[in-house]
Amino acid sequence: MQPQHIIFLILGTVMVALLIWAPGMEYSIEESTLSFYRAIDELPAGSLVLVGADFDVENRAEILPQMEAILRHLMEPDRDLRIISISMWDQGPMVMDVFLRRIGDELGRTYGVDYVNLGYAPGVHTMIRLISHDFRGAFVRDFSGTPLDELPIMDEAGGILDIPMIVDFADRESGPIIYLEQVKTQNPQIKVLASINAASFPPLEPYLQSGQVDGAVVGLKGAAEYEELMGMEGLGKRGMDAQSVGQVLVMALIIAGNVVALIIARRKKGRVVG
């Protein structure tokens, strides 16, 4: 067994143990997560919300805990918000469909009336621009093949410009940025919220600081924070405990490696001088 295999074994064991044990660490809640939560809270009852499913399943470890907490917030029956979900990339709708239907059933929401999944349409920037005034510009049927005319929620939904809030679940910064470029430039009143994986967040931060993005839930920590705000116990908190300890373990190994390298270098130097 090579030394790196021992490190991998320790790392894997620690992370799996913490996922099972879940000690329940406490996290400070970031301002961006609070802004995200408040924006949904302040949305008038009965409003339409566009939910983007702009992620690939490979990033599900971060995105799914975020989706679980945020969709529960959006679909609370008292809030009476109506959801239209679309996707600029092809894998998101498969996952979004399962989540919307499961949470919708649990919370007594009706498909086609309270929420709908229109699925994927190609074109990325162009597709979003096309549905500015009418969703029928790019979508004829929903993800299950039902014509839009048979879905009551689509009767009152014109295009994206008529919707007051966009919540984008994305694993690349280009998802929310496309909504800013193609939608918010046409109607600055529309709130754009980003629920994004941690690796994609740094390029999005300038947009958050400038106020163009109105709130952001970032990575597994964001999911854990949102669960805290929702009073939930979910995969976000559990995963964040494992991730935190895993990161500290890697840092400890880096420090140890540097100390050992320094000692070896000094010994070699001593031998040369001697």
Where on the chain is the footprint of other proteins (CB under 8 A)? 4, 7-8, 11-12, 15, 25-28, 56-61, 93-94, 97, 119, 121-124, 126-127, 129-130, 137-138, 143-145, 198, 202-203, 205-206, 209, 219, 221, 240-241, 243-248, 250-251, 253-254, 257-258, 261
Count Cα atoms within 13 angstroms, Cβ side, for 134: 5
Q: Residue 147 or 202: which CB sits closer to other proteins?
A: 202
Cβ atoms of 211 and 53 closer than 8 Å: no
Residues in contact with 49: Cβ distance below 8 Å, sequence separation at least 6, in sequence order? 43, 74, 81, 82, 83, 84, 163, 164, 165, 166, 167
Q: Residue 38 or 125: which CB sits closer to other proteins?
A: 125
Q: How many helices (H) and strands (E) does the chain have?
A: 10, 6
Residue 230 identity: M
- Min dist CB 126 to other proteins, Å, is 5
Q: How far apart are CA 171 and CA 241, in angstroms?
A: 21
Burial per residue of 67-87, b for 16 or more beta-carbon CB atoms within 10 angstroms, e otherwise? bbbbbbbbbbeebebbbbbbb
Q: Residue 60 or 161: which CB sits closer to other proteins?
A: 60
Q: Residue 47 or 146: which CB sits closer to other proteins?
A: 146
- Min dist CB 153 to other proteins, Å, is 18
* Beta bridge mates, 165: 49, 191
Cα–Cα distance list, 131 to 83, 90, 103, 108 (Å): 16, 17, 27, 29
Q: Residue 81 or 142: which CB sits closer to other proteins?
A: 142
Q: Residue 114 or 241: which CB sits closer to other proteins?
A: 241
- Min dist CB 183 to other proteins, Å, is 14
Residues in contact with 258: Cβ distance below 8 Å, sequence separation at least 6, in sequence order? none
- Min dist CB 138 to other proteins, Å, is 6
Identify the CA nearest to 216 among candidates 232, 228, 200.
Answer: 200
- Min dist CB 127 to other proteins, Å, is 6
- Min dist CB 273 to other proteins, Å, is 20
- Min dist CB 43 to other proteins, Å, is 27
Cβ atoms of 32 and 189 closer than 8 Å: no
**DSSP secondary structure code for residue 141 in this structure:** B
Cβ atoms of 217 and 195 closer than 8 Å: yes
